[in-house]
Amino acid sequence: MSTFDLLLQQTINGLSLGAMYALLALGFTLVYGILELINFSHFNVFMVGSFVALWTLQALGISGQSVILTGLPLVGVLLAAFAVTMVFSGLLGVAIERISLRPLRNVKGPAAMITTIGVSYILFNIILLTVGADSKNFPNPLPTARFQIGGAILELREILIWVVSLVLMLGLYLFVQKSRLGKAMRATAQDPEAARMMGVEVDRVIITAFFLGSALAGAGGLIFGLYYNFTSFIIGFTAGLRAFTAAVLGGIGNVPGAMIGGVLIGLIETMGGQFIATAWTDVIIFSILVLVLVFKPTGLFGTLTPTKS
Amino acid sequence: MSEAADLLLEFKDVDTYYGDLHVLKQVNYTIGRGEIVSLLGGNASGKSTTMKTIMGVVRPARGSVVFDGKPIERLATAERVRRGIAPVLEARRLFPRMTVFENLEMGAYTRKRGPEFEQDIERVYALFPRVKERHAQIAGTLSGGEQQMVAIGRALMARPRLICMDEPSMGLAPNFVEQVFATIQEINRQGTTIFMVEQNANMALTVAHRAYVLQTGQVVLSGTAEALRKNPSIREAYLGEMQVTV
């Protein structure tokens, strides 16, 4: 492959990974925007989501790489897998908020953030103890259609990942911009007390942020499985930290920022792996995290956290 | 004002604390339907806490807040807004990265969208043509006076029976201050009761029907605005600025 073809190929790969990071980064940003809380349990909501996706596909009779579907059955299976995974993950996020974070709502300091780390490890260990430490094959019911673009290969899988991610992100964007509850979310992020005095029920806004963020993380978990053809109890931390970096890079609290930050991190990962060395990927990504935090803590696109007056 | 049916809002022996800090001490207010009542007092006298107690952002430890004949001190803020209380917050507190129109929409958050919403938007636009001109602009980029118009408009969008205003003239240019008070009187003439915390005692006592004076959490004086304007201790404590500037 020529350098140009490699560049093209890694752009394709990077966009798919980036879409996954973007979906995951949105959960960090939605919750941070409203509660100023970094929710580390989000890492493993994503991981649990990928297992729920696996089990849903298996329940639908898709096991291993041997079952290939086309046409309507394929669309049906994918829709069902995404729907079940997203609803389950969303409810998991809501349960985490309700059980472990709401009682700490008015506690100052890092108690809530530390609790999210604890919840993250609980999820991690539940999956480890029930499913086991070995990675699981993730079935992929897509036909292996390949398109040649120059010297690069574009698989049907990538197109699916892009389309699904775009639809979900566009949906979220429209929800936040246009719906009544979405506007209440933005208002709460900008001035929680004023929003409350407009009659916004802040608990509902928080539940919505956790549900949507966690549902998107679930979709990200399914995409992880489709992309890497496996899942494991351990996938949450690396992907989660990279997505968190994406959220910070885009400006944590900023919804479009998280989307763009995610795509950038995906591209940096694939390009760094191709042109520097895969082993250095995390060094590069987390150096970006440190540099952004030191030199531009509001990220590329500015933060949408409450204005302190 | 002695007839209970004429009362819109009543504080009965209200005590409010912030942690250990006793902010409101056995406070009593009565606000009649259709009145403009002003609340005067220095810094840390409990004026803003009064507003927060009405809106349900802080709850009184003792005593009762009665709105329209029913106690509301246990109700959530959203329910109070639904029953007809809307705030104009200190320092405007618009949602700075939302448009002017979206800010107005947030004012109507507890209400259904429909013909009434459109009527109310038109009412706000009629009251403030400038707000109509700026409806698509990001609220944080407006001037202070324009922001105050949006803040008042946002309160009107709730179709409130009572508007609680916290320092409506604060930080505004003098010509805007007059305009804001003229608007307050206009809104009152259209039938909305107004309870207003204000530093500018001169203006407040000009537009208000009655006033309370709060000092370190206690009501130390109350009466008609006219009587308070003539009260020597009020003249000294709150209207001194007027004597210098006029």
* pLDDT over threshold 90, residue B35: yes
Query: Residue A291: which domain range?
Result: 3-295
> Within a domain: residue A308?
no
Q: Average pLDDT, stretch A136-162?
A: 91
> Within a domain: residue B236?
yes
Decide if B97 and A195 are in contact by the 8 Å CB cutoff: no
Ramachandran angles phi, psi of B113, nearest 5°: -75, 140
* pLDDT over threshold 50, residue B245: no
Q: At what angle do helices A202-228 and A180-190 cross, to 10 degrees?
A: 100
Nearest to A198 among B91, B96, B107 (CB): B107
> Within a domain: residue B2?
yes
> Within a domain: residue B113?
no
> Within a domain: residue B179?
no
Asked if A186 reaches chain B (Cβ–Cβ under 8 Å), the answer is yes
CA distance A102 to chain B (A): 17
Instruction: Write down the pLDDT at residue B242.
Output: 43
CATH of the domain at A125: 1.10.3470
Q: Which residues in chain B have Cβ-Cβ distances shorter than 8 Å to A193?
A: 57, 93
* pLDDT over threshold 90, residue B43: no
The C-alpha R_g of chain B, in whole angstroms, comes to 17
Asked if A193 reaches chain B (Cβ–Cβ under 8 Å), the answer is yes
Decide if A187 and B95 are in contact by the 8 Å CB cutoff: yes
Instruction: Write down the pLDDT at residue A150.
Output: 86
* pLDDT over threshold 90, residue A187: yes
> Within a domain: residue A235?
yes
Nearest to A197 among B82, B87, B105 (CB): B87
* pLDDT over threshold 70, residue B143: yes
**Please, how many CA atoms are within 13 Å of residue A1, restricted to the half-sphere of its CB?**
15
As for the ipTM of the complex, it is 0.90
A132: number of Cβ within 10 Å: 11
> Within a domain: residue A262?
yes
> Within a domain: residue B229?
yes
Pair of tokens at residue A78: 């994918």
Q: Which DSSP helix (H) or strand (E) runs through A198?
A: none
Instruction: Give the total number of structural domains in chain A.
Output: 1
> Within a domain: residue A304?
no
Nearest to B105 among A183, A193, A195 (CB): A183
* pLDDT over threshold 60, residue B240: no
CB of B20 within 8 A of CB of B13? no
Query: Residue B32: which domain range?
Result: 1-82+195-246
Tens of pLDDT along A232-271? 999 999 999 999 999 999 999 899 999 999 999 999 999 9
> Within a domain: residue A188?
yes
State the pLDDT confidence band at B4, using cuts at 50, 70 and 90: low
Q: Average pLDDT, stretch A171-197?
A: 95
- The helix/strand/coil state of B67 is strand
Tens of pLDDT along A44-87? 999 999 999 999 999 998 887 777 888 888 999 999 999 999 99
Instruction: Write down the pLDDT at residue B171.
Output: 84
> Within a domain: residue B91?
no
> Within a domain: residue A305?
no
- The helix/strand/coil state of A199 is coil
Give the separation between CA B91 and CA A246, rounded to whole angstroms. Answer: 35
> Within a domain: residue A301?
no
Instruction: Write down the pLDDT at residue A76.
Output: 94
Give the separation between CA A304 and CA B13, rounded to whole angstroms. Answer: 41
Among A193, A197, A309, most B C-beta atoms within 10 A, so best to mutate, is A197
Tens of pLDDT along B66-120? 999 999 999 999 999 999 999 999 888 999 999 999 999 999 999 988 899 999 9
Instruction: Give the total number of structural domains in chain B.
Output: 1
CATH of the domain at B73: 3.40.50.300
Tens of pLDDT along B55-65? 999 999 999 99
Q: What percent of chain B has pLDDT over 90?
A: 72
Q: Which residues in chain A have Cβ-Cβ distances shorter than 8 Å to B57?
A: 193, 196-197
Tens of pLDDT along A101-138? 999 988 888 999 999 999 999 999 999 999 999 999 99
Mean pLDDT across chain A? 93
